[in-house]
Structure 1
Amino acid sequence: MSPPVFRFAPSPNGYLHLGHAYSALLNSDRARDAGGRLLLRIEDIDATRCRPEFETAIYEDLAWLDIAWETPVRRQSEHLGKYRAALDRLSALGVVYPAFESRAEIARRVAAREADGPWPRDPDGAPLYPGDGKSLSAGERERLIDIGAPYALRLDMAAACRRAAGLTWNELGAGPDGERGIVPARPEAWGDVILARKETPTSYHLSVVVDDALQGVSEIVRGQDLFHATSVHRLLQILLSLPEPAYHHHRLICDEMGRKLSKSTRATGLRELRAADVTPAGIRRLVGLG
């Protein structure tokens, strides 16, 4: 039997904070206790926000925490062809379509619909895509693409869900409401999510399921803020015939106001805490790992 595989997958769009430290340490501890492997993946598909100095800082902070990972490190920007191939497979299933509205146009259309009552929101609180792009004819879509119009490639959620009824996942941690064990997946709550854009052949949802499968990740340990997104990931795994990992969603480290930490929260940044002579053992105590 192969050893279990874990991964820590930060984005180099800022410096790590205590929340990242907790997730990285928990992954490291679980890999050690299970006799498994720990991978580090750099999720750098956002070329406008990701910077080399942040990636370098990730390596420095993790090494300071005495976390060891396997090399080479997988960097998503070096594997765009893999995501494009997965997108082509989904397109062949007829569950992907281009949508040409800008964010401002979508906001206006949602506001117009809300004049007649509340418009549905996804689990993160964002309004669902109104779905106008699906009404375009194939000829009109081709015309807009030919003239260079920007677009997003969206998952036709209704068509996709018809191909994958009764989805669940194995939750080893706990959801925001204490969900454990076999949890029903409800990807329809997200509407027609974006899988790629004209200039980028992938999105978080698509690249994360492709990477986890290609790297053989068997247990995904991450924060509860991604608990509901697991429904979309399970759907994509079924559509792409990818293996099903187990999931372990952990509590979030919050600030004094009870808010999830962000990379702009300097008071909890690992670099700032290191400069204040906090030790790695002190970091463990601060995040409740003892």
Structure 2
Amino acid sequence: MRATAPPPRLPEDVETHYDCSIPLGDGHQVPVRIHVPRDLAHDAPTLVWIHGGGYVVGTADEDDALCARIASDIGIGVVSVEYRLAPEHPFPQGLDDCHAVVSALVDAHRAGTLALLGTGKVVIGGGSAGAGLAAAVALRLRDEGRLALAGQILLYPFIDSTLRSPSMTSFADSAIFNAHDAEVCWEHYLGDQRFTPPVYGSPTAATDLSGLPPAYVAAAGADCLHDEAVDYALRMRAAGVSVELHSFADVPHGFTGVAPWTTASRRAIAGVVDAIRRFSGLQEVSPPTPALAAAHEE
């Protein structure tokens, strides 16, 4: 798919820095790509974005177009994480990478290239396994007593290693990503732990979802992962978390990346942009007034 796709068109007002990294305590450096508008405000928020790929494939550059668009549309910095992948680097190594990047942003002492980002609130987000890692980081930070995230963006999250949701059966042969793919990915990432998973490895295993940051959750209607996304959103809401949940009918897993020009994708990304604005305390983009309402006002 990547070989046949045209190169992404990036906004001209956004600069991308490719040679940045965040150190881990064990000496490992986590590569990141930082997208910043040229007129970034000093107190601008930051989005930490985590790419998908079932915890086993994918690279940060696949989401360059999305990250640059968000940076341009909102006027924020976007940090895209090049985390380590299973099976060579199983849980918790990829999670540790993402946690380290977020921690570096929310800690008081920022160093090196991080100085080019704003000092505002931090939002985390991702798609598929990236959403799973984002949810896990949010849980881990809460458990550490660090309520530092302003919000979380979870696009068609891959978060239930037990594969027990109803849609995993009803959409077992779904396009793009199916039940067999899910099983293989969890085997690579968690191994035998996938049957009784650790909370940070499979966020649906968490029994307490209170105290998490506000969330925007998008579920794909024709996706084997649909029901785990809906279940997690509703459980967060029941625990007192502010949640915006959208189920987009008849679209497959990864629809915003596979077909970004479609109506569903445009609606989903517009919702992401507005959610980040809201989480960060910025003004939302108001939709145009419907023609009938405008005529009535006149």
Report which structure shows greater RCO (CA 8 Å, sep ≥6): 1
Structure 2 length-normalised TM: 0.28
